[in-house]
Chains A and B, each alone.
Chain A
Amino acid sequence: MVDSSMPQAEIITPAMKDLLGVESAPVTFDVEKGHVRRFAEAVGDLNPLYIDEGEASKTRYGSIIAAPTFFRSMLVEPPDIDIAKETGMENKLDGGSEWEFFESVRPGDRISATARFSDFTAREGRMGTMLYVSVDNTYRNQLGATVATQRMTRIIY
């Protein structure tokens, strides 16, 4: 744990600031029917849209689609930096997510995911200084359309 009197400017290092807004290289993922089903089963969400080809084909989607947060299985990281080393704070928690969904995703789609740091904010909390790191993920399909975005908040302390 760092000294809580340490000014914020030193926690958020120049190297970190330099990476704000810098997009990672895209990582591509082929959406597979079996994975879409296993994801839905793990959630306990047996919506026929995610698992039943016959029922899903009768809907406006015309086929199986992936559950909204299926993108969580598409791991992508912002440009490389060791935040624990930069800040001296080694513990981390998932603080939450903020999603926007633009188009449905279905088996056969190829999703390209990128990530970038969008914000660093240091706050004084119960456990001393905590660093809130926002990471923005963008998911595009094979046609280049943005299908979803996710802003994840990581809490480093």
Chain B
Amino acid sequence: MAKVKMPKKAPHIDMTPMVDTFCVVLTFLMLTATMRQPEPASVDTPFSISEKPTPDFNAMTFLISTDDKIFLNFDNGPDTLLAFRPKVLQEMGRRYNIEFTDQELREFQKYPSSMGVPMQHMKTFLGTNDPNERKALQVGIPIDSTDNQLANWIVAIRTVNPNVQTCIRADAMTGFPIVKKTLDILQDRNVNRFNLVTSLEATKINLEEIQQ
């Protein structure tokens, strides 16, 4: 029998299968990832037992921060080619006599998170790339009865996309009057069905325990 000759080199591990596995996991994560978009105001949603997921499209979301500012986000529709966002902005521009350039409309179309910019500053907001300047312009959508831009946004969105659903995302500590005001504005425009965004929390109740 031939004598087994031990190699003098340090044992070498072949990493190739590991790289393969990691590649698969990485691809999976990259494809399923829904990135958390940075929101203009951080909001901790309250808990509920509801298990219905948020709609992926056809939704307008009102983000109400703890300091009573309202931000609005809506999507481009079930197909990005429908491009609802620039159409809504054009509609809003007509109401406020602002002409938006193609560049600005494109910028608005791909803006990923909520916006709380008054129409007067919308052109400046879309023109700049400086995050600090943008942040300074996010002062919340005006809802005063003299300048109720939120109502106009609602009408414009619903004209462009009649199937839109209303979602309300507010912090648990947000005061109720501002939420009530938002609901009132929506109800004045004949929106009576709302989706409140919550986080899931399981609750179990024991009937016998309660009856005792």
Judge: A and B partners, yes or no. no
Interface residues of B (CB under 8 A from A): none
